Structure 1
């Protein structure tokens, strides 16, 4: 699925710190915890809580955030529609990675079991 260059640039320049509070609100409103959110983020990126806080404090863009991440080898198993885009069809690698994260947060908020969210091959 094609995204526009403007859309990709907007996502790349958005800061993780600006979106993170929304992730917390979304999962907590549905009865999940910040710890579970961190577990999902850690699974996708390899970041521990300390590194995550550093990236928030420095207001890292999603481009900087994912350039420092070690993407989970099973991240490609994250599929489905998020924000009107089918994740597996997104061509821009950074946009795809951000949408992986959005999809995982969405699944957490919808009450999906953690073992299903943290995909195993």
Structure 2
């Protein structure tokens, strides 16, 4: 996140090409959890916007809900928001208690 906020490309920061690894062609999920974070980050790095990041992650298959949560968290921080059409669909499914917690979290940690 620091690199994105300072307009430093990930490739120049780490010194290697991330395009050599294509997240869409990952091997099928084999139940190995140690790869979830790596695959989630790579899907984010190859994305063009929030929704694209989630779609890339889901297209990998496997533990898509966990990977989507990881990728979604990174993508929201980087792209600065969840698109309104996605946010509205999610909020409709949340209880009032969760919505209140979400708003408190955003006020305390995100909008500072």
In our comparison, the structure showing a higher alpha carbon Rg is 2
Which protein, 1 or 2, shows the higher relative CO under an 8 Å CA cutoff with sep ≥ 6? 1
Work out whether the TM-score is over 0.5. Answer: no
TM-score of the superposition, structure 1-length normalised? 0.28
Higher helix share: 2
